[in-house]
């Protein structure tokens, strides 16, 4: 997360940061071809990065971006007990 090695991974990290999500794990699958192929086989999803919430596969960067844009990510985080930082930012904006 500190230095994503591709633009799609960077986009996922930035979306999570926007929502204030700090407690997550990331793995550099570029270092292990077997792991990279294994995760694709496991999820039946052809691209990396792959996002899992509470162990459940959500999708790749495109899906997470769509969820961010349409508000679904806020709701999914809420189910996990995570309050999106964007809700606080919206409240602050309304006060102005």
Task: List residues forming the annotated binding site.
Answer: 6
Dist. CA 45–CA 16, nearest whole Å = 20
Phi/psi at 56 (5° precision): -100, 130
Alpha helices in the chain (DSSP H): 7-18, 33-43, 61-70, 72-79, 85-95
Question: Binding site for [2Fe-2S] cluster, residues?
Answer: 6
């Amino acid at each position: 997360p500190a230095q994503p090695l591709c633009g799609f991974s960077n986009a996922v990290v930035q979306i999570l940061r926007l929502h204030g999500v700090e407690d997550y794990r990331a793995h550099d699958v570029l270092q292990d071809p077997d792991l990279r192929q294994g995760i694709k086989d496991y999820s039946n999803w052809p691209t990396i990065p792959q996002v899992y919430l509470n162990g459940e596969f959500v999708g790749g960067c495109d899906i997470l971006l769509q969820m961010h844009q349409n508000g679904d990510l806020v709701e999914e985080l809420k189910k996990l007990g995570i309050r999106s930082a964007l809700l606080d930012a919206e409240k602050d904006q309304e006060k102005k």
